Amino acid sequence: MSRATSIPQPAGADQPPNEAEAQSPSVRIIDARTAIDELIFAEDPWYALPLERQRELSDALIRQALREHLERCPSYRDYYARSGAAEPGAVALADIPLVSTRVFKFADLRSVEAHEVERWYRSSGTSGQPSRVPRDRASLERMVGSVHGSVGLLADWDEDEVAVINLGPGREHVEDVWFQYVMSLIEALYRSESRVPRDEAALDEIIGLAQSLLDDYEHLIVVGPPFHVLDLCEHMQRRGVELQAGEGATILTAGGWKRFGGRAIPKQEFRAVVARQFGLRGEGQVRDVFNQVELNTVLFECEAHEKHVPPWVHVAARDPETLQPVPEGEEGMLSYLDASCSAYPCFIVTEDVGVVRRGRCACGREGTRVDVLRRLESRAAKGCALKMGQIHANG
Ligand SMILES: [Zn+2]
């Protein structure tokens, strides 16, 4: 992995302002003076580090991010002071004051000047007020770097031998919807084709494309939201098509079910259907990634279907009433402290319920994993967590 990396620009993105950019619009050299950049853009993957080293890095990187946000974000600084938390050098990571993800629906929370915001990204929810989250250059570069540095959790492919079908609108049509931007990053790693499976004709075309790419390439990745992948598999069933991909394909899902129309089937059943229709060697070739607009890091699933969390992110499952971390392996409201985000204090408590595990994974790697189970349902719990995570940011 080189420290020079490129950020695929969504259509209509603001043009970079400085001269170096004008000469080289797609390649940006990272200044890796800081520890977090050393880690994100390292040659050796973070998931090969021993657990103890991951813990040390996590502690140092998150404390450094906390100091920077306290310095640069007045509304977070006020909120922190009111919370009574200990100073950044002494506070336990679990006690760092959290911002509710709801805040991004109404507040302009940022740690950079307005002109340093490359773009405001929004959530892709179909109902209610969308979240709007700022990203500056460094946050976007680290996001891209973290995708490059984590994709090895899927497999160690030679990039010339991989083709991608993205079941989405494709890079050139990505605007300010964060989900589409993230998908375009995965698509950007390899030769790729984008197709929205909007009707039967499009589905037929995708099946044909998958067949020909399987013939021409050593590996095919089909990436998309689970409901699109399921549509494709059901269409194959109707057409009597079963591909013979063997070990030559990975089906990668991203994004939830609910926000996109409500149809959902259990994960195990989903993997079985996909593995059968694509003729995969095993269900380990059906993987998921997790991200949300308020989080600056994409979490990839290993072959044991566990989402490994890199050391620059601290994840905890918390009691919805007290916001205190629950014992390891128990369900709680998920919170993230993401040190890769310089644009805003990415110390967030979400409305997802999940489980956090630390130690050795069934895949053999050490580290922290998170299982995102469902949205928080209880109105009372939501209200309480909201009250505690509410920052009074107003511009
Ligand atoms: Zn694993």
pLDDT tens string 150-189: 999 998 888 899 999 999 888 777 778 888 888 888 888 8
CA of 357 to the centre of ligand 1 (A): 11
pLDDT tens string 267-323: 899 999 999 999 999 999 999 999 999 999 999 999 999 999 999 999 999 999 899
CA of 360 to the centre of ligand 1 (A): 8
CA angle 56, 60, 64 (to 5 degrees): 170
CA of 303 to the centre of ligand 1 (A): 6
Q: Tokens 């002071």 sit at which residue?
A: 81
Q: What's the rounded Cα separation, in Å, for the pair 168 and 211?
A: 18
CA of 298 to the centre of ligand 1 (A): 15
CA of 343 to the centre of ligand 1 (A): 30
Q: What's the rounded Cα separation, in Å, for the pair 187 and 165?
A: 8
CA of 369 to the centre of ligand 1 (A): 8
CA of 254 to the centre of ligand 1 (A): 18
Work out the burial of residue 8: count CB atoms within 10 Å of its CB; fewer than 13 is exposed, 13-18 middle, 19 or more buried: middle
- As assigned by CATH, the class of the 4-12+35-389 domain is alpha beta
Structure-block tokens of residue 392: 């009074």
CA of 77 to the centre of ligand 1 (A): 37
Q: b/e string for 164-184 if b means 16 or more Cβ within 10 A?
A: bbbbbbbbeebebbbbbbbbb
CA of 361 to the centre of ligand 1 (A): 5
CA of 221 to the centre of ligand 1 (A): 20
CA of 276 to the centre of ligand 1 (A): 23
3-state percent helix, strand, coil for the chain, nearest multiple of 5:
40, 25, 40
CA of 364 to the centre of ligand 1 (A): 6
HSE of 235, CA atoms in CB hemisphere, 13 A: 18
pLDDT of residue 175: 77
Q: What's the rounded Cα separation, in Å, for the pair 166 and 223?
A: 5
Q: What is the residue type of 123?
A: S
pLDDT tens string 55-113: 999 999 999 999 999 999 999 999 999 999 999 999 999 999 999 999 999 889 999 99
CA of 227 to the centre of ligand 1 (A): 25
Please state the domain extents for the chain.
4-12+35-389
pLDDT of residue 355: 97
Residue 100, H or E segment: strand 99-100
CA of 33 to the centre of ligand 1 (A): 30
Contact 270, 230 (CB under 8 A): yes
Q: What's the rounded Cα separation, in Å, for the pair 364 and 394?
A: 46
CA of 18 to the centre of ligand 1 (A): 41
| Mean pLDDT computed over 334-343 | 98
Q: Residue 113's CB: how many other CB atoms inside 10 A?
A: 9
